[in-house]
Amino acid sequence: MLTDKKLYIPEHVGIIMDGNGRWAKKRAMPRSVGHTYGARTFKKITRYISKCGVKYLTLYAFSTENWKRPLEEVNALMKIFRQYLIDSLTDFREDDIKVNFIGDRSAFAKDIIDLINETEDVAKNRKGMQLNIAMNYGGRDEILSAVKALCTEAENGSIDVSAITEDDISRRLYTSGQPDPDLIIRTGGEHRLSNFMLYQAAYAEFYSTDTLWPDFDEEEFDKAIIEFNKRSRRFGGV
């Protein structure tokens, strides 16, 4: 646990959970095994981050592009999602973590959609950290949806096009009402956002680690926070 009281804990952290498949391949295991171990890391690290004092945590679980993966892998991921959702009806209850799903849930099977809705309903009155799970999520798709919503409102006269502000766009994103991420962590050694929170990440600090997601632990998160505290955030200023 982070003990240095001088460290600033970011209000909102986003994590691109990458490396499950490579973790399994290194061990001559099917990619689905990597996803199973990654799900265990997800639960453990979420609880730890909540205890560190982060108020909002957004985890990239399944992108709009992930449907292009082999059918066997997609089916394995859906099986893991189902089990996670069943477990989540009781998971994080003692931690008082509020669970929210961002992305286009309409593409999922009805039983998964029902479980998503039930999970959110069960957790809606919790007062602790806000956990956003990005499923069938894409940053471009999110922005497109916001633009379409604004266009519809402009057509029916409920909003003046010339008066549209950045806040108007933000309020129509999946993360409406939440602060933009201060820090985005990517595991697995890659150095790109991969369509994750493109609008919200304008001034987020980016931290990449070679550690594959199933191996990402409390110590690795602490390293990211320590590095974050070394950055000088000027938000376009001097």
- Which mean pLDDT values do the consecutive 10-residue runs of the chain (238 residues) have? 81 97 96 94 96 97 94 92 84 88 95 94 94 97 97 94 95 97 98 97 97 98 97 77
Assess contact for 31 and 73: CB atoms under 8 A: yes
The single residue of 18, 91, 180, 182 carrying the catalytic annotation is 18
Q: How far is CA 134 from CA 16, 86, 142, 159, 192, in A?
A: 10, 17, 11, 29, 17
Q: What is the per-residue pLDDT for 238? A: 57
Please state the length of the chain. Answer: 238
* Annotation marks residue 66 as catalytic: yes
Homologous superfamily (CATH) for 12-138+179-228: Decaprenyl diphosphate synthase-like (3.40.1180.10)
Assess contact for 150 and 171: CB atoms under 8 A: no
pLDDT in tens, 69-85: 999 999 999 999 998 88
Assess contact for 188 and 15: CB atoms under 8 A: no
Residue 134 per-residue DSSP state: E
Q: What is the per-residue pLDDT for 22? A: 97
Domain boundaries, the chain: 12-138+179-228
* Annotation marks residue 75 as catalytic: no
Task: Tokens 């000088």: give the residue.
Answer: 232
The single residue of 4, 20, 66, 114 carrying the catalytic annotation is 66
Task: Tokens 């933000």: give the residue.
Answer: 170
Q: What is the per-residue pLDDT for 159? A: 94
Q: What is the per-residue pLDDT for 90? A: 77
pLDDT in tens, 133-156: 999 999 999 999 999 999 999 999
Q: Share the mean pLDDT of the chain.
A: 94
Cβ-defined contacts of 110-114 (< 8 Å, 24+): 111/82, 112/78, 112/81, 112/82, 112/85
